[in-house]
Amino acid sequence: MRKITTDISGPQWPQHLWPYTYTHGDTELLCFVDWEPADRSVGWTGGAWLIHAYAGGVDVVDLLKDQIVKDIEREAAEALQEGPTC
């Protein structure tokens, strides 16, 4: 019998997306957003768009309420605008 090893330590890192950890109360989601920094010369304030949100290694982005998605996108955009950590 062949032994199969599965890496369950976390999701594969989407290289074109930015990681952001969203915390609300005792809930923590590992999120990946598509992010565009601000360009004030053309009036663009920047933005982030939620692509994946992992809870316990499971992508729950389709289960989140619209307001939570908006909160994550707003908070991620603000945090990344201050300076990406990755």
Mean per-residue pLDDT, 64-85? 88
- Using pLDDT thresholds of 50, 70 and 90, give the confidence band for residue 39: confident
Residue 21's DSSP bridge partners are 30
Mean per-residue pLDDT, 67-86? 85
Task: Cite the DSSP H helix spans in 2-65.
Answer: none
Q: What is the mean pLDDT of the chain?
A: 83
The pLDDT tens digits for 51-67 are 999 998 899 999 999 99
Residue 56 DSSP symbol: T
- Using pLDDT thresholds of 50, 70 and 90, give the confidence band for residue 8: very low
